[in-house]
Structure 1
Amino acid sequence: MRPDEWRPQWRACAPFRYQLAEGARWIDDRLLFVDLLEGALYRCRGLPGADPERLLQLDMPLGAAAPVAGTDGEWIVAAGAGIALTGPDGLTWLSRPGDRRNRSMRMNDGACDPSGRFWAGSMEVQAATGAGSLYRTDPDGSVHEVLDNLSVPNGPAFSADGRLMYLADSARRAITRHTVDPVTGELGRPQLFAHFAQDEGRPDGLTVDDNGNLWVALWGAGRVLCYQPDGRPLHTVHVPTPHASSVAFGGGFMFVTTALHRLERPGPLAGAVLAGSTGVTAPPARLFGPRRPA
């Protein structure tokens, strides 16, 4: 099956350009995203042209963030070497699995599932093969390593009922699919969902739409791909800069974050957060919770 090709009329959501914009999430009629290397979390209106509001500024890389349920402006973050809660007093670390004597590690992408658990991956800063892991943070604040031997984990993304998880390993150019126990969060055995050739780019951020289709931002390829749940390709969306890093839907728009990082000759839209009109819809991002640790 040959996927349909889309060429949206992309517009930048703001005049700013980011080193490594990632983690696009739609929630409360606003778009959230991070500039990973700058340690910043931003929120902006869906209408292109609105200046983003900076919600967090950390002194370490910020891979992902999700709102904490029942709070006003508190977040769970995958940042630096671990996972933490933010609040008026700064960061409260839940776990710092990246603190290793023999490795320089940092957290990468992450997201909440429909049960309020926060899942986030870690990687070695030079993307050493097999050095990364995937961690699940339960609503009680306990952190569990659930997968190891990963290289550059991105995503994850979940089906609407939370029973399926998709996870990209960008360095290995692969996406796996796992069953998830909705009560315990335990993962089933991985199944290969998609693999990408050398010239097809690397799978980065993921999202699942309201029809259960998986959307994949392809780093280095200037494309976003859409797959049906059975793995058949459905759409190819062209992006006007090589490093597409994540994708989200909301407010009648498709959003794609991009990066200046590792581009020798960046074009005018490199590093922009892009928006294009679409009829595709997706569930809003989930919250972490409900219970916070004391």
Structure 2
Amino acid sequence: MRHADEPPGPPAEVWVEGAYELGEGARWVDGRLVFTDILTGRLLHVPDGTRTAREIVRLDVPLGAVAPVHGRPGHWIAAAGTGIAHLAPDGRLDWLDRPEDDSPVPTRMNDGACDPHGRFWAGSMAYDATPGAGSLHRTDPDGTVHRVLEGLTIVNGPAFTADGTLLYVADSAAGVVHRCPLDVDGNPLGLSEFTRLPAGGSPDGMTVDTDDCLWVAVWGMGEVHRYGPDGTRLATIRLPVRQPTSVCLPPEGGRLLITTARYGLTGPFGAAGAVLTAPVDAAAPAAEAYRPG
């Protein structure tokens, strides 16, 4: 529900046609949108000047999200399957760790992103959304993977302020976005509730803009919310689909890009599964790269 004092949000329209089952992980990399279709294991991009998504690689495990690797064009660090891996241009996975192999229930990696210090953060979730089975993992430049938060259910985000001192992470099943200060080594210094969504809304992918405001895709409500640093909702963008999954603000500003999902729906699908766009007066830095030591 839109707050009474919010101005009407801008209209959203289809930017890239597509029947993506579970689009996710929208990031701006090298002047193009990069995103995943999680359950099909596909990494896709929209080449500059086009409105058509093309496949970069296809894996035989779910692919939650990627980040570019600094100094290695075409190489990615990936939240895939049950862990974290280097992803080569030919689709080869070199596993750093698979921390969810030993989970008591079948579990996969979900959304992920790098912080401004070049560390890769990625969440996990049980396939059946078992309560408390999700965790947040941090991959350091030396390639070690650390479980930094646990006891969550469906871990989404993460997103960071420009100085890397504050983490936002969503527990989608609980309808809550948490904020978490970090020390210089990326260790959490506490967890507090930043915002709680109305019943029926689940926070999904997020990004922080150049004004330190947080943008959140709201699964189930067909909206994107923009929040000020104090948690005040500043804007609501209504979408022609109910399941937005992630958001991306290109550095040049002027537009918001939104991935969506057909997962769990029965036809007619309409625009569900497409990449949407809406005009906005906001921008964000390009995706941070993983910086191996």
CA deviations over 1:91-122 (Å, ceiling 9, x no partner): 11111111126310100000000000000011
Distance in 2 between residues matched to 1:171 and 1:263, nearest whole Å? 18
Correspondence list, 1:8-47, <5 A: 8-13=11-16, 15-45=17-47
CA distance 1:9–1:225, change in 2 (3 Å): closer
- CA distance, structure 2, for counterparts of residue 148 and residue 277 of structure 1: 37
The equivalent residue for 2:191 is 190
**SS of equivalent to 2:39:** helix
1:85–1:94 contact (8 Å) kept in structure 2:
yes
Question: What residue in structure 2 maps to residue 153 of structure 1?
Answer: 155
Aligned to 1:83: 84
Find the counterpart in structure 2 of residue 179 from structure 1.
181
Q: CA deviation at 1:28?
A: 1.6
Number of residues of Structure 1 aligned to a counterpart in Structure 2? 287
Does the 8 Å CA contact 2:205/2:245 hold for their aligned counterparts? yes
Per the TM alignment, residue 52 of structure 1 is displaced from its structure 2 partner at its CA by: 1.7
Secondary structure of 2:249's match? Answer: strand
Aligned mates of 2:149, 2:227 — CA distance in 1: 24
1:70 and 1:290 in contact (8 A); partners too: no
SS at match of 1:198: coil
Q: For the residues of structure 2 that align with 1:245 and 1:283, how far apart are their CA atoms?
A: 19
In 2, Cα distance between the equivalents of 1:56 and 1:289?
Answer: 22
Q: Is the 8 A contact 1:46 1:253 kept in 2?
A: no
Q: 1:266 to 1:172 in 2, by over 3 A?
A: farther
Aligned pair in 2 of structure 1 residues 224, 101: CA closer, same or farther (>3 Å)? closer
SS of 2:179 mapped into structure 1: strand
1:288 counterpart (271, 287, 290): 290
Query: In the alignment, which residue of structure 2 is the partner of 1:6?
Result: 9
Structure-1 separation of matches of 2:36 and 2:111: 10
1:253 counterpart residue number: 255
User: How much has 1:46 moved relative to structure 2?
Assistant: 5.9
> Equivalents in 2 of 1:266, 1:204: separation in Å?
23
- State the one-letter code of the partner of 1:249: L
Give the aligned residue type for 2:224.
Answer: V
Report the Cα distance in structure 1 between the residues aligned to 2:51 and 2:45, rounded to whole angstroms: 10
Structure 1, unaligned runs of 5 or more: none
RMSD (Å) for aligned C-alpha atoms:
1.5
Q: Is the 8 A contact 2:245 2:259 kept in 1?
A: yes
Determine the C-alpha separation between the residues in 1 that align with 2:29 and 2:91.
25
Asked whether 1:54 is paired with 2:86, we answer no
Compute the displacement of 1:216 (Å): 0.6
- Structure 2 counterpart SS, 1:4: coil
Distance 1:189 1:104 in 2: 28
* Misfit runs of 4+, over 3 Å: none
The amino acid across from 1:207 in the alignment is T
Q: Which residue of 2 aligns with 1:95?
A: 97
Which residue of structure 2 aligns with residue 243 of structure 1?
Answer: 243
TM-score scaled by structure 2?
Answer: 0.94
- Provide TM-score, normalisation by structure 1: 0.93
Report the CA distance between 1:268 and its aligned residue.
1.9
Change (3 A) 1:266 1:147: farther
Question: What aligned pairs does 1:156-235 form with structure 2 within 5 A after superposition?
Answer: 156-181=158-183, 183-199=184-200, 201-235=201-235
Cα distance in 2, alignment partners of residues 113 and 233 from structure 1: 24
CA drift of 1:281 comes to 0.6
CA displacement at 1:253 relative to structure 2: 2.0
State the one-letter code of the partner of 1:18: Y
CA distance in 1, matches of 2:46, 2:91: 25
- Letter matched to residue 272 of structure 1: A
Task: Give the Cα–Cα distance (whole angstroms) in 2 for the partners of residues 118 and 266 of structure 1.
Answer: 38
Structure 2 residue identity aligned to 1:191:
S
Maintained 8 Å contact 2:63/2:78: yes
Q: Distance in 1 between matches of 2:79 and 2:268?
A: 28
